Amino acid sequence: MVHLGELLSEERRKKGLSLEEVSSATKIRPAFLSAIESDEYAKLPSATYAQGFVTNYASYLGIPRREALALFHREFDPKKTNKVLPDSFAQEKYKHKTLRIQRSSIALVVICLFLLSYLVFQYRSVFFSPFLQVNSPTDNSVVPANIEVKGSTDPNDLVLVNGEMVTVDQNGNFFKDLTLLPGSTQIEITAQNHYGKTTIIDRTVEVK
């Protein structure tokens, strides 16, 4: 009994053609051509592909289409060829799918982190005490009777120096002129936000 694979292989050899040459002309991979010649249809992508490859291969070699299809249908068993794709194709498809899932997961995590950071930044005043920095005077320093208290905070915060309100400019900078009595004196600087959160810094100075 003549098999389709044997017929194709013999005809190819008669014409002095290699699998690579046939592949170049028909655009069918050499591995698929070899599978057809070996009657290993399970190595082909699907039943539809298998039939198309067979007819194209046979036509290229000059074998009648009807004869090739008759042999193909006699030998082809769909139950044994139940894979939609070969292992290499399936693995590649799985890799691409996994990569897409990983990229989507990373993108989702980045978006969530961005949203969380945005919310924390917008509502930081609710949860955290306000930023306060006192540049002058430094703690335990010796100062004259007339000094200037300088620092910075959020432009929207309220600043008090020894209980007196201080103006804060649009950049968050503030200053307050004080006249102190000689001796050791404590200066209290307070920053308070709209939600009642406060930060207090004390400066102890020695007045000449």
> Which residues, 6 or more positions from 48, have their beta carbon under 8 angstroms from its beta carbon?
none
Q: Are residues 132 and 200 in the same domain?
A: yes
**CA nearest to 53, candidates 30, 84, 86:** 30
**Strand boundaries in the chain, DSSP class E:** 132-136, 141-143, 146-153, 158-161, 164-166, 173-179, 183-192, 198-207
Residue 80 lies in a domain: no
**Domain containing 134 — which CATH number?**
2.60.40.10
Q: Are residues 99 and 134 in the same domain?
A: no
Q: Are residues 42 and 110 in the same domain?
A: no
Residue whose structure tokens are 């290499």: 88
In tens digits, the chain (208 residues) has pLDDT values of 678 888 999 999 999 999 999 999 999 999 999 999 998 888 888 888 888 899 999 999 999 988 888 888 888 876 655 444 455 544 555 666 777 888 888 988 999 888 888 776 666 667 788 999 999 999 999 999 999 999 999 999 999 999 999 999 999 999 999 999 999 999 999 999 988 899 999 999 999 8
Q: Are residues 118 and 132 in the same domain?
A: no
Encoding tokens for residue 20?
A: 């690579």
Q: Which domain holds residue 101?
A: 85-122
Residue whose structure tokens are 């139940």: 82
Encoding tokens for residue 155?
A: 């432009």
**Domain containing 38 — which CATH number?**
1.10.260.40
Residue whose structure tokens are 């290699």: 18
